Amino acid sequence: MLIRTILIDGLAVGAYNYTIVVSDLAGNSFADTVIVTVLVKIPEFNPFIGLMIIGLCVVIPILAIKQKFKKKK
């Protein structure tokens, strides 16, 4: 048995039509068509990063206010 691998890594976004034809020594053959659709990868949202951003938005103003009060003394 002969096994072949077709690599499709690195395809640009779009639709690709592949037709695979196999045949044996007796002259029998079979064809099959597959359509490979490559989509744009949407990055997953990481909740940890979102919490860090919210935390910075809260902490930075608090530090700025504390610094302002220290200068008044």
pLDDT per residue as tens digits for the range 24-50: 899 999 999 999 999 988 877 778 888
pTM: 0.46
d(CA 43, CA 56): 22
Q: How many CA atoms lie within 13 A of 8 on its CB side?
A: 13
Amino acid at 14: G
SS3 state at 32: strand
Q: What is the pLDDT of residues 59-72, one digit of tens each?
A: 888 888 888 777 76
Q: Which residue has the tokens 């103003």?
A: 61
Q: Which positions ≥6 away from 39 have C-beta within 8 Å?
A: 13
